[in-house]
Amino acid sequence: MKKFVNDVETVLSESLDGFAAAHADIVVLGPERKFVRRRSLTHGKVALISGGGSGHEPLHAGFVGLGMLDAACPGQVFTSPTPDQMVEAAEAVDTGAGCLFIVKNYEGDVMNFEMAVEMAGRKVLTVVTDDDVAVENSLYTTGRRGVAGTLVVEKMVGAAAEAKAGLAELQTLGQQVNSQTRSMGVALTSCTVPAAGKPTFEISDDEMEFGVGIHGEPGRRRVRLEKADRIAEDLMAPILADLAIRPGTPVLLLVNGFGGTPAMELYLMFDSAKRLLDNAGAILARSLVGPYVTSLDMAGCSLTVTVLDDVLIRLWDQPVHTAALRWGA
């Protein structure tokens, strides 16, 4: 294992210290590093709180700031944060309008966030994201996994929250965006969890894991490496089928890197995916390319498509100022 590490026991704490120092104009690190919150809170606005295991950076702490999250709770690598982290985050950022938890559909995350709702002693609603079309059930989930589409939900709901939308309205919006979002990923290599010191799974140089999860969970199948256009076709086909996109439908296309894939290859995949959307008659209204929901050092990517309308386009275009996403602010 070759990584920039002092001690595997302190990787997360040192990383959070560095993150908070590098973005001190945007975020503050909570007591005992239990959460990251906005430096400046807006009173009377619903507080948006998310979280999950570390190793997916910039998700979620990188999306704390204007136009997105008010707080994020980091668990250990690929491990859910604890309910007390979520409760303390809610106490720190709730300014009176209630809290919305945005939770990826993994059993540990869902269970701990549900416990936090019961413990919080305040008004809290939840949106669960489950955009991965690769498998219905996996090692960590009952039902579909929440993956890169979580970013889209956080951005849309974050924009509406800045406009002072109410708690129930934001929950409905988050559920709508999630229902109109589908993702699928492919891994070319495994990832290496620092504490393990070796790859999560073995894969040959001429193989790829199709439909892989963001923790290295198995996907639909292990297959021979194909050309990029063919990979894009295999990823996009179930997404398009699941969304039942009609000609003339505006969409957002997110090509997300898993941490070990260069930008040149991500943009090549974007080109392949865009041509498939064009062939399906979809209108590419908005796009995003980059490593936003990663799996440590895994080489690979995911494609995410969200069906848009005029309201969602306006929400996507609203200003955002976070460590990982910035425009219009």
Which residue out of 23, 43, 56, 60 is catalytically annotated? Answer: 56
Cβ-contact 252, 111 below 8 angstroms = no
Helical H segments across 250-291, by residue range: 263-279
Active-site residue flag, 56: yes
Edge to edge, the sheet with strand 320-322 lists 65-66, 320-322, 326-327
Read off the tokens for 234.
């295999």
Among 109, 57, 102, which Cα is nearest to 83's?
A: 109
**CA 22 to centroid of chain Cα atoms:** 21
43 is catalytic: no
Task: Write out the two tokens for 44.
Answer: 């009377």
CA distance 147 to 257: 12
List, in sequence order, the alpha helices (H) in the chain: 11-22, 83-93, 107-120, 149-162, 167-179, 228-243, 263-279, 310-317
In 68-214, which residue ranges form alpha helices assigned H by DSSP?
A: 83-93, 107-120, 149-162, 167-179
Taking the C-alpha atoms of residue 272 and residue 266, their distance in angstroms, rounded to an integer, is 10
Q: Is 232 helix (H, G, I), strand (E, B) or coil?
A: helix
Q: How far apart are CA 276 and CA 254, in angstroms?
A: 14
Q: Which residues are catalytic?
A: 56, 215
